Every structure is written in structure tokens, then in C-alpha cells.
């Protein structure tokens, strides 16, 4: 196992983080969106530590199928093995560090570095070099110089996650009861889900957290920010969220899912009645599979972020990662997810519909980018960055009498998930290891 | 795309100087409509069966190419629109609540390297061009998108209409947050 990555040393935490992230008192400050020192702490204490989404199993069905992505700013290759497993390697040659795979996806028998011809097989082992004879004279041990493999890889219902930290809890523990909610989108039919072809990448001049937080629990913005898109797609305004009788904000370990139980509120904005009809058609079978409660979530007004930067919308079926590229820049990777068992024409409508609404050309997303960029840019001002930002909605909304798993709060129009998200962020930046991370969960581990 | 153009040029017949000029003027006019936010006039140039397609570009190795090289019909696309979709997009621009369009985005669209050939049927033209879109927002935001375009235009009741449009950008990662215009 000599190819496993070296764990990085953890530096001391920054002082006075409480000045910019004081969740008990419902306030944060813009500095967390624009500060280089904070960003460097994030790369180390969040992105080199947490489980990060790297691929969907359907993208790499066969041996040698690969995609490349990043974990934080670290470039990695995600590749299917002969035994059906998945390995994740640093996309850097262990000789001089050159990138070994320049394509975003494909199928291969291995990777050859362009610099000195070091050649690696699908398992990441070094199998040859240009002028290989000269290495022998230096007592070179090939077995020690394969591609560096990340500490842990695991998946949940097709979603593949990886972590650089050998001390990280299991993926199952990390996700906790959020898996119960994830299944409403990712396991609502036999056969599970798949990504339709391709990945669209775009660039925002915003902090990665402001986007992730938007999906963790900010449905409040939708009715206002997206009014123009809703009118374009539906001919009227979006559903008034405060009219829903029952809706929730649920979180765990900083992950958050906010949702109503209206079945098709999200899918409706794609303006394709066939998709609403499809969800209504499968709903009884979802109820049988997951219970009635979650059958109401399959395309409902909702959003989710798995800490730190993996998000999706059930109904629109857009899946994305907010890749950090400095404190005030992200690359957004988006994919479209569909049920494997869905009819081809339904998959096709989702492929188009997701892009029409939530993509760089999406009529909804267009208005988000503007907001997120200026939430970030205003914090360039030294004084502005120090001012309190209100994050106190729903302070007293904890649901005590619920059978639902996770930390459950009443109502979607609620900043409970955003607070839990930033609290987790704060806790990670203050902890030198997983052991020091406080457990702030109070809800049930499992559904009753 | 280069392969397609090379192959096509063998059998393609360029139109007359006069027709080339007419079509060049049409493309310039179309772009001026966009720059002047005359979206309804712009929509009126679309054929009812328009396929307006800007596929996502994938950075793949030569031995792992897709259906069309760097893109494929069943992969994600920036635009994969019919007339209904284009009309919806235009409708968003026109809402008073399109907050991100006020102050307005200022656009300069440019089209060049225009090649015009006779199409497969009478009154149809195959047009290759290179496009450039410059957008500025706020005080200092500027986004430039370059691309190669293939259009099929048809002459219908004395007016040219756009029946097919393929827009290919070279970028596998879009260098801006959105495309709040047409290309």
C-alpha cells in the first residue's frame, strides 16, 4: 500500500474566527467569502479532510473507464478497476508532478506521463519508464512509485465520494441520516440513477460557500430571485413557499436538505408536463419502496447540499459541485441525473429541461450567479467584510415531536440549515483532526 | 468540425457574390437586433422548426472521441432549443423582475469568416462563420465568447429564416458565469 497518499500536516487554526462566524447569535461576516488565509485553512481542514463527491458510478461502468475532477484544488483521476471497484488517484506523476491525464473522461489501459514517460496501469502501479534501464542502476523500486491513491473511496446509491483523510469516519457515518433523504432522488426506482452524458463547467467570481449555502437551505431566495424565470417557464410566479402546510429543513454534520411535500413543485419549473406526469406515475411505486412521506419529495420544492460542496435539486435533477478556486472564484461542475429505468424520451426531456433552467444558460441560474458574485465582491472592502450579516431566521423552529431522522426544523423558509452548515465549517476550521470535531447533532440517527 | 468542413467543401457550391453579400448582411442584421435587445424581431427570424444547438464541449483524447468528436447529440448542451424554448428565454429577458438584466448587459456581437454554400434543397443555404460575443455588465465586468457556427438558412416567402444553428465554442470550461445572450 505504499502508493497511498501522505497525509498533510495540519497547521494551527486561525484566531478570532468567532468574529466572522458566530452562529449562536445568528451572524456571519463577509470576510469568510474573501479572505486568503481563511481559504488556505479551508483547503487543509475541509477539502483535505471531508468526503468529497468525485463521480457517479454510471459515468465509469467498465474497467478502465475514468473521469477526472478535483478534490478542493487537488486534481484526481477516478477510475473503474477490473474487480468492479473504483480507485481515485492524484492526477500527478510521482516523478516531477506533471499531470498524467489531461482528458476529462474516457477509457484507457493506463496513463503515461508526457514528461519522462512514466507509465501506470489502471491500478495505478508504475509499469514502465522511458530509458527504464537507467533506473535499475539507482536501485529504483518501482513498487513504491505508483500513482498516489487517496485514503478512502466509497459510494452511496451511485454517488462516489472520496477523502484524503485516513482518519475520516466512514462515508455512512459522515452522511448519517441524510442518506434517508438522498434516496428520495437517488433510489426511488429499481436500478437507481444515472448521469446523462457530459459535464458542463463554468466559472463564477464567487466564494464556494455562498453557492453551497444557497442549496443547503435557501428556498427563500427562489420566489424573489427567480421570479422572471418562473414567469418565463410557467407563465406565473413560483409556488409561494409560505403557503405550504408542511415543509422541513433537515441537517446533519453540516449537510442540509430543505423540502416541501408537494411532489412536483420543482419539476414543474422545467415546463414539461410529461415530467410531472412521469413523477405522478412512479409515485405509488416510490411509496411502496420508500414510504409515502418520501414519495412526496421526488420532485418537490427542495434543495440539498452535502457538506462541503456537493449539491442537487430533485425535480430539476441538476447535480453539481462548487469547486473552490481561490477565496473568490469557483468552477461549477454540473450534471443531469435521471432514473435508469425511466423511458428514453423522459430522460431526454430532463437532459434538456435541467439545462434550460439550471446551467450557465439556464433561465433560473442566470439570476443566481449575479447575486453570489456580489455577495462575494462586496467583501473586498475591509470595512464591509467585517460587518455582521444576519443569518437568524427560524432560530426557534426545532421540531421536537417528529419521527423524521436528522436534526429536523419546521419550515423551509428557515436559515437553520445555513446555520448548521456554517457551524460545521467553523468547527472544522477550529479542529486539528476529526477527533476534535464537536458533535452538534441532536436528532434521530434513523427513521422511525 | 474541421473534418466536416473539409469533406463538405469538396462537393459544396458557393453562392454568387451578390447572394453572399445578402446573407452576410442578414447575419449582421440579426446580431444588431440582439445588441439592441429587439428580441421579438430576432425571434421572428427563426424558422418554426428551428434547432438552435450549442453543445457542451468535452476535453477528450483522440482515441476516445464522441459521436461528433468533442460533442454529442445526447450529451448536455448550453442550448438544445426549439422555437418554444427560445421564446421562453426571450420571455425571461422581458420580465421587469429579471433583476440581473437591470442595469442592462451591453452587447457587441460580431460575425466573420462567412462562407455561404447552396443547401440540400432549393432556397436553402449552408453558412459557416466565426462569431464573437462581447458582453459588459456593471462597471467593469467583461465576458468574451468566441465560437464557430454552422447555420442552415432558408428563403421563405421572400424572407430568410434560420432553420438550424450549431454553435461550437473551443472552451471545455466556460470562462464566465452565464450566457445571458444568444450567439
**Residue in A203, A351, A366 closest to B100 by CB:** A366
Contact between B133 and B144 (Cβ < 8 Å): yes
pLDDT band at B5 (very low <50, low <70, confident <90, very high): very low
Residue of B174, B181, B183 to mutate, testing the A interface (most A Cβ within 10 Å of its Cβ)? B174
| Min distance B62 CA to chain A CA atoms (Å) | 10
CA distance A235 to A139: 72
A114 close contact with B: CB closer than 8 A: no
The pLDDT of A367-391, averaged and rounded, is 96
Q: Which pLDDT tens digit goes with each residue over A97-138?
A: 999 999 999 999 999 999 999 999 999 999 999 999 999 989
**Residue in A225, A351, A370 closest to B76 by CB:** A351
User: What is the predicted pLDDT for the residue at B72?
Assistant: 97
Sheet strands (E) in A217-254: 247-252
A106 close contact with B: CB closer than 8 A: yes
Domain ranges of chain B: 2-168
The pLDDT of A131-154, averaged and rounded, is 95
Closest CA to A77 of A118, A131, A13, A122: A122
CA distance A333 to A374: 20
Q: Give, as one character, the DSSP assignment of residue B109.
A: E
Alpha-carbon torsion (B58, B59, B63, B68), positive or negative: positive
| Min distance A83 CA to chain B CA atoms (Å) | 23
Q: Which pLDDT tens digit goes with each residue over A4-32?
A: 888 888 999 999 999 999 999 999 999 99
CA distance A305 to A311: 4
Q: Give, as one character, the DSSP assignment of residue B126.
A: E
Integer angstrom CA distances of residue A389 from A28, A376, A385, A411: 5, 12, 9, 22
CA distance A327 to A32: 8
Please report the domains of chain A, with CATH numbers, ordered by start residue. Answer: 51-164 (2.102.10.10), 176-436 (3.90.380.10)
pLDDT band at B1 (very low <50, low <70, confident <90, very high): very low
pLDDT band at B2 (very low <50, low <70, confident <90, very high): very low
A223 close contact with B: CB closer than 8 A: no
Sheet strands (E) in chain B: 46-55, 77-81, 106-118, 124-137, 141-156, 159-168
Q: What is the ipTM of this complex?
A: 0.95
CB contact under 8 A, A198 and B72: yes
In the sheet that A52-56 helps form, which strands lie side by side, from edge to edge?
A52-56, A159-163, A152-156
The pLDDT of A314-335, averaged and rounded, is 98
CB contact under 8 A, B77 and A352: yes
- List the CATH code of the domain at B2-168: 3.10.450.50
**Residue in A104, A336, A367 closest to B100 by CB:** A367
Is pLDDT larger for residue A236 or for residue B63?
B63
| pLDDT over 90 percentage in chain B | 90
Closest CA to B101 of A202, A21, A369: A369
Chain B hits for A271, Cβ within 8 Å: 88
H or E element in which residue B87 lies: helix B83-94
Find the chain B residues whose C-beta atoms sit closer than 8 A to any C-beta of A: 54, 56, 58-61, 63-64, 66, 72, 74-81, 85, 88-89, 91-92, 95-101, 172-180
CB contact under 8 A, B80 and A355: yes
Q: Is the pLDDT of residue A75 over 60?
A: yes
User: What is the predicted pLDDT for the residue at A236?
Assistant: 81
Q: Is the pLDDT of residue A176 over 50?
A: yes
Chain A hits for B180, Cβ within 8 Å: 366
The pLDDT of A40-66, averaged and rounded, is 98
Residue of B62, B72, B77, B90 to mutate, testing the A interface (most A Cβ within 10 Å of its Cβ)? B77
Integer angstrom CA distances of residue A246 from A83, A160, A259, A296, A347: 46, 32, 9, 11, 30
| Min distance A333 CA to chain B CA atoms (Å) | 9
Q: Is the pLDDT of residue A73 over 90?
A: yes
CA distance A304 to A202: 20
pLDDT band at B9 (very low <50, low <70, confident <90, very high): low
CB contact under 8 A, A104 and B88: no
Question: Quick one: how far is CA B167 from the chain centroid?
Answer: 5
* Nearest Cα residue in chain B from A197: B75
CB contact under 8 A, B99 and A228: yes
Phi first, then psi: what are they for A131, rounded to 5°? Answer: 55, 50
Closest CA to A340 of A194, A185, A127, A154: A194
A413 close contact with B: CB closer than 8 A: no
A178 close contact with B: CB closer than 8 A: no
CB contact under 8 A, A197 and B54: no
CB contact under 8 A, B76 and A334: yes
CB contact under 8 A, A359 and B78: yes
| pLDDT over 90 percentage in chain A | 92
DSSP annotation string for A121-152: ETT--EEE-TTHHHHHTTT--GGG-SPPBPSE
The pLDDT of A264-274, averaged and rounded, is 96
The pLDDT of B166-181, averaged and rounded, is 97
Q: Which pLDDT tens digit goes with each residue over B93-152?
A: 999 999 889 999 999 999 999 999 999 999 999 999 999 999 999 999 999 999 999 999
Integer angstrom CA distances of residue A276 from A245, A347, B135: 21, 13, 36
Helices (H), A168-217: 171-175, 178-186, 208-217
Q: Is the pLDDT of residue A312 over 50?
A: yes
User: What is the predicted pLDDT for the residue at B11?
Assistant: 82
Chain B hits for A202, Cβ within 8 Å: 173-174, 176-178
In the sheet that A105-107 helps form, which strands lie side by side, from edge to edge?
A86-90, A74-80, A65-71, A105-107
Residue B11, SS3?
helix
Q: Which pLDDT tens digit goes with each residue over B14-56?
A: 999 999 999 999 999 999 999 999 999 999 999 999 999 999 9
Compute the count of residue pairs across chains A and B with CB atoms less than 8 Å apart.
130
Q: Which pLDDT tens digit goes with each residue over A401-413?
A: 899 999 999 999 9
CB contact under 8 A, B174 and A373: no
Question: What amino acid positions of A are annotated as catalytic residues?
Answer: 116, 218, 221, 226, 368
Amino acid at each position: 500500500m505504499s502508493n497511498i497518499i501522505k497525509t498533510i500536516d495540519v497547521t494551527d487554526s486561525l484566531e478570532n474566527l468567532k468574529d466572522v462566524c458566530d452562529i449562536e447569535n445568528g451572524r456571519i461576516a463577509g470576510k469568510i467569502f474573501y479572505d486568503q488565509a481563511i481559504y488556505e485553512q479551508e483547503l487543509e481542514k475541509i477539502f483535505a479532510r471531508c468526503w468529497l463527491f468525485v463521480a457517479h458510478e454510471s459515468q465509469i461502468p467498465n474497467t478502465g473507464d475514468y473521469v477526472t475532477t478535483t478534490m478542493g484544488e487537488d486534481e484526481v483521476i477516478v477510475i473503474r478497476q477490473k474487480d468492479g471497484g473504483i480507485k481515485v488517484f492524484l492526477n500527478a506523476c510521482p516523478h516531477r508532478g506533471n499531470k498524467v491525464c489531461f482528458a476529462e473522461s474516457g477509457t484507457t489501459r493506463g496513463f503515461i506521463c508526457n514528461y519522462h514517460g512514466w507509465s501506470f496501469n489502471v491500478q495505478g502501479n508504475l509499469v514502465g519508464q522511458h530509458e527504464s534501464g537507467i533506473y535499475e542502476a539507482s536501485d529504483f523500486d518501482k513498487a513504491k512509485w505508483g500513482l498516489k491513491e487517496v485514503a478512502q473511496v466509497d459510494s452511496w446509491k451511485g454517488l462516489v465520494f472520496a477523502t484524503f483523510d485516513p482518519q475520516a469516519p466512514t462515508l455512512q457515518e459522515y452522511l448519517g441520516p441524510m442518506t434517508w433523504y438522498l434516496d428520495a432522488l437517488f433510489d426511488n426506482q429499481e436500478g437507481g440513477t444515472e448521469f446523462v452524458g457530459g459535464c458542463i463547467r463554468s466559472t463564477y467570481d464567487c466564494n464556494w460557500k455562498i453557492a453551497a449555502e444557497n442549496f443547503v437551505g435557501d428556498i427563500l431566495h427562489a420566489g424573489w430571485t427567480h421570479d422572471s424565470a418562473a414567469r418565463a417557464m410557467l407563465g406565473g410566479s413560483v409556488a409561494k413557499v409560505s403557503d405550504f402546510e408542511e415543509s422541513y429543513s433537515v441537517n446533519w454534520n453540516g449537510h442540509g436538505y430543505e423540502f416541501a411535500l408537494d411532489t412536483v413543485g420543482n419539476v414543474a419549473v422545467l415546463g414539461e408536463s410529461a415530467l410531472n406526469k412521469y413523477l405522478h406515475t412512479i409515485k405509488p411505486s416510490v411509496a411502496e419502496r420508500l414510504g409515502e412521506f418520501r414519495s412526496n419529495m421526488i420532485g418537490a420544492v427542495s434543495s440539498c447540499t452535502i457538506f462541503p460542496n456537493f449539491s442537487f435539486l430533485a425535480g430539476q435533477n441538476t447535480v453539481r459541485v462548487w469547486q473552490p478556486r481561490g477565496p473568490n472564484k469557483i468552477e461549477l461542475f454540473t450534471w443531469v441525473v435521471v432514473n435508469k429505468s425511466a423511458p428514453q424520451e423522459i430522460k431526454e426531456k430532463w437532459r434538456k429541461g435541467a439545462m434550460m433552467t439550471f446551467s450557465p444558460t439556464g433561465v433560473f441560474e442566470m439570476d443566481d450567479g449575479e447575486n453570489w458574485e456580489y455577495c462575494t465582491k462586496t467583501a473586498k472592502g475591509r470595512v464591509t467584510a467585517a460587518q455582521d450579516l444576519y443569518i437568524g431566521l427560524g432560530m426557534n423552529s426545532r421540531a421536537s415531536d417528529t419521527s423524521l431522522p436528522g436534526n429536523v426544523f419546521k419550515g423551509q423558509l428557515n436559515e437553520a440549515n445555513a446555520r448548521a452548515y456554517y457551524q460545521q465549517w467553523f468547527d472544522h476550521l477550529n479542529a486539528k483532526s476529526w477527533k476534535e470535531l464537536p458533535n452538534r447533532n441532536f436528532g434521530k440517527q434513523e427513521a422511525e | 468540425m474541421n473534418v466536416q468542413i473539409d469533406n463538405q467543401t469538396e462537393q459544396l457550391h458557393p453562392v454568387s457574390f451578390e447572394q453572399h453579400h445578402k446573407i452576410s448582411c442578414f447575419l449582421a442584421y440579426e446580431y444588431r437586433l440582439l445588441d439592441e435587445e429587439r428580441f421579438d424581431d430576432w425571434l421572428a427570424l427563426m424558422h418554426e422548426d428551428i434547432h438552435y444547438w450549442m453543445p457542451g464541449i468535452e476535453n477528450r483524447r483522440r482515441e476516445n472521441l464522441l459521436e461528433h468528436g468533442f460533442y454529442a447529440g445526447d450529451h448536455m448542451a448550453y442550448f438544445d432549443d426549439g422555437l418554444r424554448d427560445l421564446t421562453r428565454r426571450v420571455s425571461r429577458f422581458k420580465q421587469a423582475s429579471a433583476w440581473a438584466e437591470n442595469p442592462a448587459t451591453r452587447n457587441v456581437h460580431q460575425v466573420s469568416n462567412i462562407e455561404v454554400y447552396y443547401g440540400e434543397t432549393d432556397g436553402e443555404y449552408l453558412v459557416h462563420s466565426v462569431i464573437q460575443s462581447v458582453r459588459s455588465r456593471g462597471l467593469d465586468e467583461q465576458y468574451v465568447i468566441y465560437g464557430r457556427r454552422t447555420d442552415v438558412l432558408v428563403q421563405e416567402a421572400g424572407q430568410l429564416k434560420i432553420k438550424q444553428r450549431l454553435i461550437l465554442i473551443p472552451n471545455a470550461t466556460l470562462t464566465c458565469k452565464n450566457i445571458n445572450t444568444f450567439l
